[in-house]
């Protein structure tokens, strides 16, 4: 485990350039550049706002678009990283098989580039916050300055899962389908579209939501950006716990599978 962390430090430059490479390659030749990466969450935002404020108006929160946006961004960071990490290693088979290359860099690069997308979307979230404050439906609080800390904790959590999934996906080719379905399901079982404490959620439903490890993360961002409050201590502790378990398990699984990767890929 310690060697893995030391290697990671050595490879930070590698992870940085590969992330830059991915981002550049993705947006080279497209006029709107990174805004494409925002298109999906913005579209979701529009559709859900329409559905849950006009067609089916029971959101249980005043500034619904802002609330939605604050939850969709961390969710997209998680979902995008996890989905893409299923192919992180197999799509770079050449590197793993032909170059002396630390394979763990690959899922981490995926996480890093999704983190960059997340960070680039923050100004827009702040803009949305500004607009909502202007119409008097939200308050700005200095607690949003804590956001980077939560992002860091979430990054560690996501990185652990990405490490696990990327290496296991090489051995189990159908893991990708499984993950895709779980992620889709997970979206509705995470309080992104509705507040966790909505009165229409039955008690057993709240238990179910509490079992979802993404819940404290999403709830915390909503708390920072929409309600201007420091997240609950329970949520903070859960986040730290999940992040620790996830990253340790991630490296453990990856270490066990590492030696077989170049062979079975």
Helix, strand, or coil here: 99? coil
Query: By CB under 8 A, is residue 25 in contact with another protein?
Result: yes
Cα separation, 74 vs 76, whole angstroms: 5
Return the range that interacts with another protein (CB under 8 A); candidates 93-101, 108-116, 141-149, 249-257. Answer: 93-101
Return the range that interacts with another protein (CB under 8 A); candidates 9-17, 76-84, 214-222, 233-241. Answer: 9-17
Query: By CB under 8 A, is residue 199 in contact with another protein?
Result: no
Query: By CB under 8 A, is residue 31 in contact with another protein?
Result: no
Query: By CB under 8 A, is residue 263 in contact with another protein?
Result: yes
Cα separation, 114 vs 107, whole angstroms: 11
Smallest gap from Cβ 86 to another protein, in A, equals 12
Query: By CB under 8 A, is residue 264 in contact with another protein?
Result: yes
The binder of another protein chosen from 3, 13, 55, 233 (CB under 8 A): 13
The binder of another protein chosen from 31, 123, 136, 174 (CB under 8 A): 174
Using the 8-state DSSP alphabet, how is residue 55 labeled? I
Handedness of CA 119, 104, 26, 73 (dihedral sign): negative
Helix, strand, or coil here: 64? helix
Residue 79, Cβ density class (10 Å: 0-12 exposed, 13-18 middle, ≥19 buried): buried
Count of other CB atoms within 10 angstroms of residue 234 = 11
Smallest gap from Cβ 106 to another protein, in A, equals 11
Q: Are 237 and 213 in contact (CB under 8 A)?
A: no
The binder of another protein chosen from 6, 24, 197, 229 (CB under 8 A): 24
> Applying CB under 8 A, which residues contact another protein?
13-14, 17-18, 21, 24-25, 28-29, 94-101, 171-175, 178, 259, 262-264
């Amino acid at each position: 485990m310690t060697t893995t962390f030391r290697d990671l430090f050595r490879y930070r430059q590698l992870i940085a350039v590969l992330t830059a490479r991915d981002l550049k390659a993705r947006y080279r030749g497209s006029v709107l550049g990174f805004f494409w990466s925002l298109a999906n969450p913005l579209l979701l935002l529009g559709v859900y706002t329409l559905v849950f404020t006009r067609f089916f108006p029971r959101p249980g929160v005043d500034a619904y678009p802002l609330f939605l946006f604050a939850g969709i961004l961390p969710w997209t960071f998680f979902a995008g990283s996890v989905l893409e990490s299923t192919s992180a290693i197999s799509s770079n088979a050449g590197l793993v098989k032909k170059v002396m290359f630390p394979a763990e860099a690959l899922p981490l690069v995926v996480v890093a580039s999704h983190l960059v997308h997340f960070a680039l979307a923050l100004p827009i979230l702040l803009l949305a916050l500004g607009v909502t404050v202007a119409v008097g439906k939200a308050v700005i609080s200095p607690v949003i300055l804590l956001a980077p800390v939560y992002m860091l904790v979430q990054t560690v959590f996501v990185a652990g899962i990405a490490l696990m999934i990327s290496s296991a996906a090489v051995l189990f080719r159908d893991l990708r389908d499984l993950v895709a379905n779980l992620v889709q399901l997970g979206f509705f079982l995470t309080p992104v579209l509705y507040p966790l404490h909505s009165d229409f959620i039955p008690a057993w439903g709240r238990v179910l939501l509490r079992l979802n490890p993404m819940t404290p993360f999403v709830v915390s961002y909503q708390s920072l950006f929409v309600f201007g409050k420091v997240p609950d201590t329970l949520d903070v502790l859960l986040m730290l716990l999940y992040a620790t378990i996830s990253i340790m398990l991630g490296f453990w699984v990856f270490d066990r599978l590492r030696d077989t990767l170049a062979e079975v890929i």
